[in-house]
Amino acid sequence: MLSLVALLFLSAQPTQTGPSFSCAHVTSEVNKLICASPTLSALDRELANVFTNMQGQPIDQKKLQQEEKLWLSNLLRDCQDPACIQARYQARIAELKEQSLKAASPVAYEETRPFPAPPALWAQAQALVGKSCEYQKDVVGPIIPGFRKVPRFLPVTLASGVTVVRESGTTRFAFLVESSPCQVRDVVTLPASAVGDRFLQCSVSDPALTGFGIRNPQTHGLDAFWSVDPATHKIERVPMGVLGIEKSVKCQQPETAE
């Protein structure tokens, strides 16, 4: 399945298992750790691909090069373990993707910006990704520690797992959960209750774009749509207007019930 970024840039990547650079003569401890880790190597390839895609965009290229050199210098200076390297790569990739999307299409950028959440609460939700969850007897749906169920939001079952809505305070999140074994795979923020009041199971003519949406309580139409990649277990908000699918999205209320 093509991710949102791949759909926008149509960039093909060659099959590769190592990082974007040669590991033959690396000397820094950071690069040695990257070369030894398939996860870190994959992140390095992803960052290199995103950075390359930005070369032809209407972005201040000199500033981009300077920022990349500074980021690399800080990485080599600050990180001494895989966890630090992974966090830095993930943050940099997210930052560049946001810049790139905004430059490629301001409309798409506005349509795919994450809904706001308190930073501490967002960090709490993100910290659950990759962690185990559990099902309890007589309780339908997975238990997400620190987050409670939301009435009227039924779970959406997809090829990649089950997507459920949970909240803390007034902030709502969609968690993608793999059932067996129970594991949280991804999470995104959802709009406030005044903007979205129902979870919808959605698809379009492109079989790669299946996922879930939020119903607008005023118009009863689709307010936002997220695709879910069964291969990577990633949730991405789709810019419906830019991709021309807003009229072809077919949604229905989930048939399962909590």
Position 34 scores a pLDDT of 97
Q: Is 112 helix (H, G, I), strand (E, B) or coil?
A: helix
Position 118 scores a pLDDT of 92
What's the rounded mean pLDDT across residues 102-116? 78
Q: Is the pTM of this model over 0.85?
A: no
Record the tokens describing residue 225, joined without a space.
Answer: 């749509």
pLDDT tier for residue 207 given thresholds of 50, 70 and 90 = low
Residue % of the chain over a pLDDT of 70: 82
Burial of 99 (0-12, 13-18, 19+ CB in 10 A): middle
Position 142 scores a pLDDT of 86
Position 239 scores a pLDDT of 77
pLDDT tier for residue 194 given thresholds of 50, 70 and 90 = low
Position 139 scores a pLDDT of 65
pLDDT tier for residue 36 given thresholds of 50, 70 and 90 = very high
Each residue's pLDDT tens digit, 213-252: 887 777 777 778 888 888 888 888 887 665 555 566 777 8
Please tell me the distance from the alpha carbon of residue 4 to that of residue 93, in angstroms, as a whole number.
14
Position 196 scores a pLDDT of 59
> Please, which residues have CB within 8 angstroms of residue 119's CB and are 6 or more apart in sequence?
none
Q: How far is CA 60 from CA 34, 91, 107, 237, in A?
A: 29, 20, 20, 26
- The three-point CA angle 165-170-173 to 5° equals 25
pLDDT tier for residue 203 given thresholds of 50, 70 and 90 = confident
Record the tokens describing residue 54, joined without a space.
Answer: 């930005």
Q: Does pLDDT of 55 surpass 90?
A: no
